[in-house]
Structure 1
Amino acid sequence: MLTSFAPRPSARPRRGRVVRATGTALAVVLALGACVAPKEQSSPQDVVPTGEASATPGPVTGGIEAFYAQELSWSECGAGLECATVQAPMDWDDPAAATIELALRRAPATGGPDQRIGSLLVNPGGPGSSGADFVEYARDVFSERLVGAFDLVGFDPRGVGASSAVSCGDPAEVDRYLTADYPVDDAAGLEAAREAARAFGEACAEATGPLIEHVDTVSAAKDMDLLRAVLGDEQLHYAGFSYGTLLGATYAELFPDKVGRLLLDAAVDPANSSEELVVGQAAGFEEALRAYVAYCLDGPACPLTGDVDDGMQQIADLMDRVEARPLPVGEGRELNSTLAFYGLVVTLYDDETWTYLTLALEEALTEDRGAIFLELANFYLDRTADGTYGSNQMVAFTAINCLDYPAEELSYAELDQLAGVVEAEAPTFGRDFVMAPGCETWPVEAVREPAPTTAEGAAPILVVGTTGDPATPYEWSVSLAEQLASGSLLTWEGEGHTAYGRAGDCITDAVDAYLIEGVVPPDGTVCTG
């Protein structure tokens, strides 16, 4: 299904890892079918351009009109797929200064010219996930009707994947930073963690060049209107998941008259501050883990014992033990608490993957081994066993988020006080989401100010929320639907992140009717089962 989200790595107090992530992980069900590491990727889209190259002016020069006048040249790039590259201004406020490249991949509509509506631009989340890669298997996610009606067009947003991309230098150093433990038990620990984050950010700025100042969501939304135009569509039809909902809502705010049919599934609340993002996700993952523990205890082979509170404590104790003494994996490798937390979190994105968490817990609790947790963590990170990465999603996540969310450098005492508030909502994960450096060390200041999005004048926009969503809590979808002047909320009562493609016929039929026929389900419609 869709690609996994990319978390922002950071310091870790006691146990766990900050997961200020807003991406989508529907791919877990497919890619973890055999409980293996990330899928091998061999397409040209996996080649990540360097930041230095991305700053080089391309063939398009002049004002914005010249970019909108581009003609696409499509080439075959897989079974039934076509690829193209679009030139965009690096800085939309100074379009003549320098250009970047945006990578596209499309699966042409299968229904013929009479059935074809136009292009459906798709974004699977992140920020940092590749829409171009997603299109390779999008035809297995979207319904046959939808695939017949639209060209499915995936794109790598600026800073991501095969588009002009963020880079952070030496791969070995990047891996060490992304997977290391940085305990934050006092002010000195916090400062050490911030120093590591500051050095990492400086390496990203040096390796990426000027592009690192222009990978914000507003700039990416302006790119989307460019893509709409060069694809030949009068209006933008779009399916955005998780972070893709923020991108879509931003587009609607900037270009309300160009909005066609926008599906925003698993919404990010555009008004959320960085602190509100953390609090919401901490509570969301806490509830998702409780739902898993209840499921496990009701099953025949659960390694946990007692009631739900007992099971939660057993998992917390395991994470503490891994922090104190990493678990052996084999071949001289170890599972530290950072990787253990990643391996745990990735299974909470879809209840169909809870089985893998049971297997990982059983191995860790009964055999004192962390091999399955490491496999899960590597999938989460798009990382191979030797510490190399299949994409730049991890570093792109940080670069984009740090331009989107202003950050204040709080003292250890201030963070500790906030952690206490969050811990009341999320006893297991609360402190882990707070006691860590954030974007206050990033070398570029944020350019987006979180605020409500109304998109006055836009055509009807469909927001879909899942009641048991850990990464983008249901309340965020409710809030976005209320903010949008033309928003309509469709609810799935279920567990996991996002709904379309895994929630059954009720959601599929309602979304398809909206995207294909323009029929908006009544606001407040609820799907169950």
Structure 2
Amino acid sequence: MRTFLASLAAGSLVAGVVAATAGNPVASAAETISWSACSDESLAAANAECGFLSVPLDWSKPSGEKIQIAVSRVKATGKSQGPMLINPGGPGGSGLGFSAYLKQMMPAEVSAQFDLIGFDPRGVGSSKPALSCVKDYAAGPRPAYTPVESRKAANEVAWIERTKAYAAACKEKNGKLLDHVKTIDTIKDMDALRAALGAEKINFFGFSYGTFLGQTYSTRYPNRVAKMVLAGMVDPHNYGGYADGGKAQTEAFQKVLDIWFDWIAQRNSTYGLGSTRAEVLKTYQEMRAKLTSAPVGTIGPSELADVFFTGAYAEQLWVPITAAVADAHEGDFSFLTRVYEILGSPADDNGYAAFNATLCTDGKFPRSYDRIRKDAFALSKTAPESTWSSFWFSAPCTWWPAKAGKVPPVDGAKVSVPFLLVQQSLDGATPYEGAESVKKEFPSSAMVLEVGATTHAAVYSGNKCVDDVVTAYLLNGTLPTRAAGNGADVSCERTPFPEPSVVNRSLQQGQLGYFLGLPPELAAIVNMIPL
């Protein structure tokens, strides 16, 4: 999913030479990483070490210009099953801190058996150089998202100009890197990291877009994979370039928003936003209309939409976001403004720049604005509250200055290693149909499904049924028996919906404390959106 909320190390490098064999580049004289203590507090608390890996800017020129990939490692404390590379998704999500995150979230008996490897993909976070085009691009207030179908109103013209200018700035400020931030570049970097770690095979834990990295890496290097856990499946046959125009994802998010609006209506005594889904929707639309006419500080209609929409990624966000919206409905925008600052990172566009740099070049995106506009208006008929933030998020692809490549192939027939799929049946960011597509593609896989849950890519998040399946697989390779068809092999009952922890909404410090106290996996999701 695309909203305008921004996505989520010390060390030196000993130079070496990375060569390529025809059609299957490998590190023949692997770079080495000089590890030292991490400066980040969470990584330091996990006793992680950090460094940089040098890789070619252009993998077709392995002896040419180099860039640096930021890497962290939390070593196994028991008998190691080898390195486990981790990617949080995006594309554009920072994964450097995920070695510490998985160390915290996994059972100790599991984390003890792996060298947990976090890394920032090329162009992201602490990797060098890091992409940036217009740092304050998400700063508010911005024009309203929703255009008028019959003509190009002022807000639509403004967004066209903004997205064109953003694409132009990306070309101006990022040089040659912009042509080399494709998925294929990242999976080659992952294999160079494998070689630098001295491992014949890697384990891999991928969330969201990270599941596509796992699919493509295992297709390209089927003999270099040990175990893989993929959470929140990207459909390999509906990714890259324009794909289906975002239809499957946008409609799935609309379903989540409908469920959330029902949840709000059932708690009208707490929030006062309406006692039916229709009333909540009306309240929300009226708030957007008022903010279109008169923004409050940095909060305009698009900022309200962004904050509200982020809750569609994680049910645990429903309480603080709904409270912030309810306060704003009553005239107090202080909490909502703070929430946007936390979620939006409006002064840093690195995650957004990296998202576009990958998505816009992983496959051909239409260069006709009129075409994507027509498709979006058709889609808005079935997904009215989820179409336009997505539309404008990816609109720079229409004007993108870097040349598009081909979507990396996925061929599950090449892969014999068993690996585990984790999915929520009502995930909006990665719809359930994608999980079925992955299971069908990879006959060695098995799927555990959390039925009725909407939280995106949730694993080690408190559902014992799901977590026990993951733990058994990681400890000893045990997979659920694969059932006939492409559906779930294990179905788990969802965890309960969240409940308001602060009924009195004037207790904003308590609400903010709840919000800032999100578990790491949710903080990671909102910081790297699109999780």
Determine if the TM-score, normalized by the shorter chain, exceeds 0.5: yes
Q: Does the CA contact (< 8 Å) of 2:265 and 2:276 recur in 1? A: yes
Query: Separation in 1 of the partners of 2:210 and 2:345?
Result: 19
Structure 1 match to 2:456: 497
Structure 1 match to 2:259: 291
Query: Separation in 2 of the partners of 1:480 and 1:352?
Result: 27
Query: Separation in 2 of the partners of 1:191 and 1:427?
Result: 20
Query: Separation in 2 of the partners of 1:246 and 1:62?
Result: 25
Structure 2 match to 1:506: 465
Query: Separation in 2 of the partners of 1:218 and 1:205?
Result: 20
Write the deviation string for residues 189-248 of structure 1: whole angstroms up to 9, x where unpaired: 656533432222222222221111111111101111111122122212000001111111
Query: Separation in 1 of the partners of 2:10 and 2:248?
Result: 37
Structure 2 match to 1:91: 58
Letter in 2 for 1:506: C
Change (3 A) 1:285 1:378: farther
Letter in 2 for 1:193: W
Change (3 A) 1:238 1:513: same
Give the TM-score normalised by structure 1.
0.81
Would you say how many aligned residue pairs link Structure 1 and Structure 2? 469
Structure 2 match to 1:525: 490
Query: Separation in 2 of the partners of 1:116 and 1:313?
Result: 55
Letter in 2 for 1:258: R
Query: Separation in 1 of the partners of 2:377 and 2:27?
Result: 54
Query: Separation in 2 of the partners of 1:182 and 1:298?
Result: 28
Please report how far the alpha carbon of residue 66 of structure 1 lies from its aligned counterpart in structure 2 after TM superposition: 5.9
Question: Which of 21, 24, 30 in structure 2 is aligned with 1:69?
Answer: 30
Question: Which of 411, 418, 422 in structure 1 is aligned with 2:375?
Answer: 418
Q: Does the CA contact (< 8 Å) of 2:140 and 2:299 recur in 1? A: no
Tell me the secondary structure at the aligned position of residue 109 of structure 1: coil
Q: Does the CA contact (< 8 Å) of 2:145 and 2:388 recur in 1? A: no
Letter in 1 for 2:163: A
Please report how far the alpha carbon of residue 272 of structure 1 lies from its aligned counterpart in structure 2 after TM superposition: 1.1
| Counterparts of residues 86-165 of structure 1 (less than 5 Å) | 86-110=53-77, 112=78, 115-165=79-129
Please report how far the alpha carbon of residue 355 of structure 1 lies from its aligned counterpart in structure 2 after TM superposition: 0.6
Residue 392 (str. 1) matches residue 350 (str. 2):
yes
Write the deviation string for residues 251-294 of structure 1: whole angstroms up to 9, x where unpaired: 11111121211111001112215252621222122111221122
Give the percent of matched residue pairs that are identical in Structure 1 and Structure 2. Answer: 28
Please report how far the alpha carbon of residue 140 of structure 1 lies from its aligned counterpart in structure 2 after TM superposition: 1.9
Question: Which of 382, 403, 406 in structure 1 is aligned with 2:345?
Answer: 382
Change (3 A) 1:62 1:252: closer
Structure 2 match to 1:430: 387
Query: Separation in 2 of the partners of 1:392 and 1:463?
Result: 29
Residue 468 (str. 1) matches residue 426 (str. 2):
yes
Residue 255 (str. 1) matches residue 221 (str. 2):
yes
Tell me the secondary structure at the aligned position of residue 395 of structure 2: coil
Q: Does the CA contact (< 8 Å) of 1:316 and 1:428 recur in 2? A: no
Could you tell which deviates more after superposition, 420-429 or 176-185? 176-185
Residue 321 (str. 1) matches residue 290 (str. 2):
yes
Query: Separation in 2 of the partners of 1:122 and 1:306?
Result: 43
Q: Does the CA contact (< 8 Å) of 2:428 and 2:456 recur in 1? A: yes
Please report how far the alpha carbon of residue 171 of structure 1 lies from its aligned counterpart in structure 2 after TM superposition: 3.5
Structure 2 match to 1:48: none
Tell me the secondary structure at the aligned position of residue 149 of structure 1: coil
Over the residues paired in the alignment, what is the CA RMSD in angstroms? 2.9
Q: Does the CA contact (< 8 Å) of 1:184 and 1:193 recur in 2? A: no
Change (3 A) 1:58 1:177: farther
Tell me the secondary structure at the aligned position of residue 368 of structure 2: coil
Query: Separation in 2 of the partners of 1:245 and 1:68?
Result: 28
Letter in 2 for 1:458: S
Structure 2 match to 1:232: 198
Tell me the secondary structure at the aligned position of residue 342 of structure 1: helix
Change (3 A) 1:474 1:167: same
Residue 515 (str. 1) matches residue 483 (str. 2):
no
Q: Does the CA contact (< 8 Å) of 2:254 and 2:385 recur in 1? A: yes
Question: Which of 170, 193, 213 in structure 1 is aligned with 2:159?
Answer: 193
Q: Does the CA contact (< 8 Å) of 1:252 and 1:455 recur in 2? A: no
Please report how far the alpha carbon of residue 88 of structure 1 lies from its aligned counterpart in structure 2 after TM superposition: 0.9
Could you tell which deviates more after superposition, 273-282 or 492-501? 273-282
Q: Does the CA contact (< 8 Å) of 1:194 and 1:441 recur in 2? A: no
Q: Does the CA contact (< 8 Å) of 2:143 and 2:292 recur in 1? A: no
Letter in 2 for 1:59: A
Please report how far the alpha carbon of residue 139 of structure 1 lies from its aligned counterpart in structure 2 after TM superposition: 1.9
Could you tell which deviates more after superposition, 460-469 or 370-379? 370-379
Query: Separation in 1 of the partners of 2:103 and 2:110?
Result: 9
Letter in 2 for 1:139: K
Structure 2 match to 1:302: 271
Write the deviation string for residues 330-371 of structure 1: whole angstroms up to 9, x where unpaired: xxx33012211221122222212211122122112122x433
Change (3 A) 1:335 1:177: closer
Q: Unaligned regions of 5+ residues in structure 2, if any?
A: 21-25, 39-43, 483-488, 495-531
Q: Does the CA contact (< 8 Å) of 1:499 and 1:507 recur in 2? A: no
Query: Separation in 2 of the partners of 1:397 and 1:209?
Result: 17
Write the deviation string for residues 297-338 of structure 1: whole angstroms up to 9, x where unpaired: 223413222322332232233223322321x2xxxx330122
Q: Does the CA contact (< 8 Å) of 2:33 and 2:52 recur in 1? A: yes
Tell me the secondary structure at the aligned position of residue 106 of structure 1: strand
Please report how far the alpha carbon of residue 59 of structure 1 lies from its aligned counterpart in structure 2 after TM superposition: 3.3
Structure 2 match to 1:167: 131
Change (3 A) 1:500 1:102: same
Letter in 2 for 1:241: F
Give the TM-score normalised by structure 2.
0.81
Query: Separation in 2 of the partners of 1:101 and 1:158?
Result: 7
Q: Does the CA contact (< 8 Å) of 2:288 and 2:300 recur in 1? A: no
Residue 335 (str. 1) matches residue 335 (str. 2):
no
Tell me the secondary structure at the aligned position of residue 208 of structure 1: helix
Change (3 A) 1:419 1:349: same
Query: Separation in 2 of the partners of 1:233 and 1:462?
Result: 21
Q: Does the CA contact (< 8 Å) of 1:67 and 1:226 recur in 2? A: no
Change (3 A) 1:206 1:238: same
Query: Separation in 2 of the partners of 1:214 and 1:108?
Result: 31
Letter in 2 for 1:487: S
Could you tell which deviates more after superposition, 75-84 or 61-70? 61-70
| Counterparts of residues 17-56 of structure 1 (less than 5 Å) | none
